[in-house]
Amino acid sequence: MARQLVLGIETSCDETAAAVVIYENGRARVASNVVSSQIKDHAPYGGVVPEIAARKHVEKIDEVIKLTMQQAGIGFSDLSAVAATAGPGLIGGVLVGLLSAKAISLGAGLPLIAINHLEGHALSPKLTQDLDFPYLLLLVSGGHCQILKVEALGIYKRLGTTIDDALGEAFDKTAKLLGLGYPGGPLVENAARLGNPKFPLPRPMLNRDGCDFSFAGLKTAVARLAQSIVAEKGMLSQSDINDICASFQAATIDVLINRLEAAFAISGFDGQDRQLVVAGGVAANQAIRAKIETLCEQRGWRYFAPELKYCGDNGAMIALAGAMRLGEGIVSDFGIKARPRWPLDELSAPLKLKHGYGKKGAKV
C-alpha cells in the first residue's frame, strides 16, 4: 500500500487538536501531535459551554495547524490528504475544524476525508500497536458509552449502549457535585486512589440481558449519599470525598466488567478474534484499565488500549482514520456537512434496545 501522509483535525469538544500521521503497510507513525486544551476556559462553569468552545476553536485552530505542520517538518503540498472530524460533537466546534480542512483541501488541492469522531477513538490503539480487525470495542468517553463489534474499517455493529448518561459524564457530574472541579474523570480517579470503597452504591443493569448500561441512577445515588453525610456531619471532609469517589469508581468498574462479560458471550468472537479494545477519554483511568486487563487475562481475550495521550480527543486518531480510508480509496464529497449526531453503526440495522431508554431518552 502506498505511503499516506495525512493531516488530521479534531475540534468536536473542548480540545483544538491536529496531527500528522504517516501510514504505510498497515503501520502508523505520528509525526506531530498538537493538542490545545480549553479546560481553563470551561472550568469556571463546571462543564463545556458550547458557545465558548466554538469561539476558542476559531481563535486557536490556525495556530494549532501551523504548529502541527512545523513540528512534522512538512508543508501542505507534502500531504496525501486532509482529514477532519465531521461529527458527532458540539456543532459549532465541528464546523470550525471541518471548514478549516475544506479550506486546506481547496487551497492545496488535497483530498478531503470527513471522519466520524467515534471511528477515530475506535482505531486509536492502532497508532502505536499492531492490531488487526476484527475486535470488540468498549468506547467510554464524555459523550458515549458503547460496546461495538469492529469488523473492518467502516463496519461497526453496536451490541450495547447506555440508556441515559455516558460514563465520562457520570465522572464529571460526580466531581461537580463533590466540588472537585472539571474535567471530573482524573480528579475522581485521584480522590478514589486515596479512599475506601465503603459506601454501598447501586450497580445499574448488572446481570440484565444484553450489554446495555445506565449511569443516571448511580449519579443520583452519589448525590443522595453526599447529602446524607452533610445532613449528619454538617460538611463533607476530604476523606468522605475520597471514600465517595472510591465507592463510585468501584461501582462503575463492577458494571463495566459485568457488561463486558455479557458482551464477550454474545459477541460470537472466538479464537484469534477474541480481542478487546478499550478507548475514549475514560480509558485513561488506571483502575478501570487494570481491572479490564485482568478480566481479559482470565477469559483468554487479548487486551488493547491506546497510549494515555491518545485516549482523550486528539488529531492523530483522526489522521489515522483518514489515512486508512484514503488507503481504501474512500474520500469525501466537498459538500459534506458537519453533524451533531452520527452513530458509528449507522449503516447497520437499526439498534433495538433491550431495556428502552431512560426517562430523558438516550443522549448518546
Question: Which residues lie near ligand KG4 (CB under 6 A)?
Answer: 13, 141-143, 168-169, 171-172, 183-186, 189, 280-282, 284-285, 312-313
The contacts of residue 231 (CB under 8 Å, 6+ apart) are none
Q: Which does 282 bind (CB under 5 to 8 A by kind): ligand KG4, Zn ion, none?
A: ligand KG4
313 contributes a contact to Zn ion by CB under 5 A:
yes
The contacts of residue 192 (CB under 8 Å, 6+ apart) are 242, 245, 246, 248, 249, 250, 287
- Name the residue nearer to ligand KG4 (CB basis): 186 or 210: 186
Strand boundaries in the chain, DSSP class E: 4-10, 15-24, 27-37, 81-87, 112-116, 135-140, 145-152, 155-161, 275-279, 302-304
Q: Which does 88 bind (CB under 5 to 8 A by kind): ligand KG4, Zn ion, none?
A: none
- Name the residue nearer to ligand KG4 (CB basis): 68 or 124: 124
First to last CA, the chain: 36
CB 9 within 8 A of CB 326: no
Least gap, CB of 287 to ligand KG4 (angstroms)? 8
Q: Which does 184 bind (CB under 5 to 8 A by kind): Zn ion, ligand KG4, none?
A: ligand KG4
Least gap, CB of 281 to Zn ion (angstroms)? 6
Binding region for Zn ion (CB under 5 A) out of 2-10, 126-134, 136-144, 231-239: 136-144
Q: Out of 32, 141, 242, 247, name the contact with Zn ion by CB under 5 A.
A: 141
Q: Which does 185 bind (CB under 5 to 8 A by kind): Zn ion, ligand KG4, none?
A: ligand KG4
Strands 275-279 and 302-304 come out as parallel
CA-to-CA separations, 277 to 27, 253, 254, 321, in angstroms, rounded? 17, 16, 18, 16
Which residues are near Zn ion by CB under 5 A? 141, 313
